[in-house]
């Protein structure tokens, strides 16, 4: 899982205006497979408490 992200990270080293944390997250996202990206997206929605359709709709998201 995400074994190639250090290679992608090296390519992003010269990106201006991006913090180290942002570079790491970007490299991990670019190196992930589609299934891993979906899993990371689901985890992010869970962390915000917006995983269910109705939770997102309550906050005004149009789905």
Q: What would the pLDDT profile of 24-54 be if each residue is shown by its tens digit?
A: 888 888 888 889 888 888 888 888 777 777 7
Q: Do residues 15 and 23 touch, judged by C-beta distance below 8 A?
A: yes
The model's pTM: 0.59
- Identify the pLDDT of residue 26: 84
Mean pLDDT of 5-34: 86
- Identify the pLDDT of residue 50: 75
- Identify the pLDDT of residue 44: 84
DSSP 8-state class, residue 52: S
Q: How far apart are CA 22 and CA 9, in angstroms?
A: 10
């Amino acid at each position: 899982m995400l074994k190639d992200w250090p290679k992608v990270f090296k390519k992003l080293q010269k990106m201006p205006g991006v913090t180290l944390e942002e570079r790491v997250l970007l490299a991990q996202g670019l190196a992930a497979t589609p299934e891993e990206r979906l899993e990371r997206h689901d985890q992010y929605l869970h962390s915000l408490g917006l995983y269910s359709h109705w939770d997102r709709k309550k906050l005004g998201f149009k789905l």
